[in-house]
Amino acid sequence: DVKVTQSSRYLVKRTGEKVFLECVQDMDHENMFWYRQDPGLGLRLIYFSYDVKMKEKGDIPEGYSVSREKKERFSLILESASTNQTSMYLCASTLGGAGNEQYFGPGTRLTVT
């Protein structure tokens, strides 16, 4: 079974803090994704990576950065957390090429106070 794990299920941070969300997959997938999920807005893509050290912006990259130093690990970084970044963050991975399903982690619910 494909396994995608995220470092925390719940996280509470203060405004202005630097926040790291970690995601690890164990199936040697080329592509990894970070989404943000908010009620009524569905899943919105923040960033994705199609190879080690390669990344592309998604639909809402502002205020976020990412890092992929190893194939299995994809990190989302909030340089200076703000209250409007309070949300559920989902990580996913998939094999390279079109037509493959994405496998999701359990999510991290981040609250910025």
Q: Least distance in Å: CB of 80 to other proteins?
A: 27
Q: Is residue 1 close enough to count as binding other proteins by CB under 8 A? A: no
Q: In Å, how far are 16, 20, 42, 59, 79 from 4, measured between CA atoms?
A: 28, 17, 20, 22, 24
Span interacting with other proteins, options 11-19, 37-45, 63-71, 74-82, rule CB under 8 A = 37-45
For residues 90 and 45, give the distance between their C-alpha atoms in angstroms, rounded to a whole number. Answer: 9
Q: Per rule CB under 8 A, is residue 56 in the interface with other proteins?
A: yes
As a whole number of angstroms, the distance between CA 113 and CA 80 comes to 12
Q: Name the residues that contact other proteins, by CB under 8 A.
A: 4, 31, 33, 35, 40-43, 45, 48, 50, 56, 90, 92, 94-107
